[in-house]
A and B are shown apart, each in its own frame.
Chain A
């Protein structure tokens, strides 16, 4: 096997590994909120994520991939030494991948996007000199990193404030939901269509002018609104006070009686302080069982809130799909950008500045993400979904939708941003609109630190691996 073939294989494997990493660790942050709020089951979430991440990557991932492939490092500098660019892209992939592995091990909130961008800048400076970097693009990208969580937060804040004011503060929340849903879906559908419909959607070269796009957006928006309106008509407003009974499954009660048995047997051999605590626990468990056995009836306002949340569950499913699509579109570039740059040079033998992103690369990236999701990512979604009990569908929808719009817009503009950090910003936005019980603001500090740390480390790793690779294959 020639060294070129070996190099090709390594590049493909590294790109796939990066994509696998994205599917394994990153997708969960996008889909976990929907599982936690109960809008989706784990199976549904994984299934939807698989389809939509791939779709986002394949149909919409070219813009950001192009930026990473040729928008950061000036490939013209490598016209005489194309292999150097190949080594550099490979080194960036491996360097970023290694850093991500270390960071996941220590549980640090590191972004795949920041790692790869930092890595590419690192190798670019060292090998091509400071002039090899398109600093204006880098400035745009860096600005987008700061702006995306802020924009996501602002959007989600506005969305949830609107929901809070119009629906939750309303005397008849269910009626308010029915009134506001169709125009809301119209705006939602319209905005999404507008962002998605473009010349390079599915790489079709259909000349679409602005008014074409507007018309399509309006039609899709109206369609969505109509569907929403007719689905809601079926839901009756409670004319008389609804009594909802909270019934607990007998499985739960039998589990609790097992708990009591265990506690009693532990109490048999415990003395002193431990015995005291066990006594308290037993009394608590007894109290819980009594509460569960008496079914509670609540008055109609609580029942209305429950129905409102049920409606929002459907909206949250839509926003979860959007999140997965947007995440696939933006993050596939982290794996595929360097990969397609390296592979096209290897296969064509020279550097081309207007290469574009090949479809097979996007498909490969999409498959890698799905593979990561299927082998490891579903576990992370399950963990997040089980432990995230705070989020109701209305809050989840507001956060996910604000984040998804931001990520989609950034993807359309070709800006590689961190989907996770944007979602964090959005959740914080909902929290500031008084939507969530308790938020850990320390996460902001951790994210800030990860920004400052990731870029130099990513760069450093890329540089080291570059020299290693060049010494082996150069």
Chain B
């Protein structure tokens, strides 16, 4: 009786956008973490870290909900494998944000003077890279309308190139930061040194993963 209705499955594209919003919540808390660190307000730091953890948990729940509603018999204009990969990469960005939060709470840290300016720039470029890929995910609904081609796909392709460029800039700053960290390794204990190394690495992963995500989306487009 309702045959035509049962023919249409639950589209995963809107839930995918919702999931990205949750990831964005996590990532946008990271600058707040560092601001609290600068004020040396460790109580506030703990609080924000807990919030990030909760948002990451919500993102996981949404991710699993999407996966549970993606049977093999569902046919989509995007490959099922590609979709699951995109979802996975999105979620790992939230994981990285949570990792940063945890790292900052392991020890009462002080942002070293040697790389304060560069670090703020580094953090900013990582968040910017993420914001661009966030915008790409927001365009998914329009991509569906244009069947993953045409002007809309061109627009997304340009955004992907932008992400790649920003990720490269992030890499450059990361190299500078690591150099100055290693040059001044005698100014800090090994644990602090190791911790900052991990923090730099994990923060850099935000732009790396954003670039990976952008390119996975690019692969699904019908552009020349």
Residues of B within 8 A of A428 (CB): 7, 75
* The residue from B2, B21, B74, B150 contacting A438, defined by CB atoms under 8 A apart: B74
Say yes or no: is B6 at the interface (Cβ < 8 Å to chain A). Answer: yes
Residues of A within 8 A of B1 (CB): 25, 28, 104, 107, 109, 380
* The residue from A169, A280, A434, A436 contacting B8, defined by CB atoms under 8 A apart: A436
CA–CA, A305 and B152, complex, Å: 10
* Interchain CB contact under 8 A, B5 and A387: yes
* Interchain CB contact under 8 A, A280 and B58: yes
Residues of A within 8 A of B4 (CB): 28-29, 32-33, 384, 388, 420, 423-424, 427
Instruction: Label chain B's interface by main secondary structure.
Output: mixed
* Interchain CB contact under 8 A, A440 and B2: no
Residue of chain A at shortest CB distance from B12: A438
**Which of B95-103, B141-149, B190-198 contacts its partner?**
B141-149
B217 to A: closest C-beta gap in Å? 15
* Interchain CB contact under 8 A, A169 and B150: yes
Given A437-B13, A438-B11, residue A420 in contact with residue B77 (CB < 8 A)? no
* Interchain CB contact under 8 A, A164 and B147: yes
Residues of B within 8 A of A173 (CB): 150-151
CA–CA, A165 and B13, complex, Å: 22
Given A168-B150, A280-B58, residue A438 in contact with residue B75 (CB < 8 A)? yes
* Interchain CB contact under 8 A, B8 and A390: yes
Residue of chain B at shortest CB distance from A308: B145
Residues of A within 8 A of B147 (CB): 164, 168-169, 433-435
* Interchain CB contact under 8 A, A32 and B5: yes
Say yes or no: is B222 at the interface (Cβ < 8 Å to chain A). Answer: yes
Residues of A within 8 A of B222 (CB): 169, 434
Say yes or no: is B76 at the interface (Cβ < 8 Å to chain A). Answer: yes
* Interchain CB contact under 8 A, A434 and B58: no
CA–CA, A425 and B206, complex, Å: 44
Interface centre among A423, A438, A439, A441 (most CB of B within 10 A): A438
* The residue from B12, B21, B149, B155 contacting A169, defined by CB atoms under 8 A apart: B149
Interface centre among B4, B6, B74, B144 (most CB of A within 10 A): B4
CA–CA, A337 and B145, complex, Å: 44
Given A434-B77, A434-B148, A437-B77, residue A383 in contact with residue B5 (CB < 8 A)? yes
Chain B residues 145-176 with CB under 8 Å of chain A are 145-152, 155
Residue of chain B at shortest CB distance from A443: B7
Residues of A within 8 A of B74 (CB): 438-441
Residues of B within 8 A of A435 (CB): 77, 147
Residues of A within 8 A of B11 (CB): 390, 437-438
Chain A residues 365-424 with CB under 8 Å of chain B are 380, 383-384, 387-388, 390-392, 420-421, 423-424
A268-301 toward B: CB 8 Å interface, digit per residue (1/0)? 0000000000001000000100000000000001
What is the size category of the interface that chain A forms with chain B?
A: 35 or more
Residue of chain B at shortest CB distance from A107: B1
Chain B residues 176-210 with CB under 8 Å of chain A are none
* Interchain CB contact under 8 A, B155 and A439: no
B2 to A: closest C-beta gap in Å? 6
Say yes or no: is B112 at the interface (Cβ < 8 Å to chain A). Answer: no
Residues of A within 8 A of B151 (CB): 170-171, 173, 301
Residues of A within 8 A of B68 (CB): none
Say yes or no: is A442 at the interface (Cβ < 8 Å to chain B). Answer: yes
A219 to B: closest C-beta gap in Å? 35
Given A437-B77, A441-B75, residue A164 in contact with residue B3 (CB < 8 A)? no
What are some 14 contacts across the A-B interface (CB < 8 A)? A29-B3, A29-B4, A109-B1, A109-B3, A169-B150, A170-B150, A383-B5, A388-B5, A391-B8, A424-B7, A436-B77, A438-B76, A439-B8, A439-B9
- Which residues of B does A touch, CB under 8 Å? 1-13, 21, 58, 71, 73-77, 142, 144-152, 155, 222
6 A-B pairs closest in CB distance: A437-B11, A438-B9, A434-B77, A169-B150, A109-B3, A438-B11
Task: Please name 9 further chain A to chain B contacts, defined as beta carbons within 8 Å, in addition to the given A164-B147, A388-B4, A446-B6, sorted by A numbering.
Answer: A383-B5, A384-B4, A423-B4, A433-B147, A436-B8, A439-B75, A439-B76, A441-B75, A443-B3
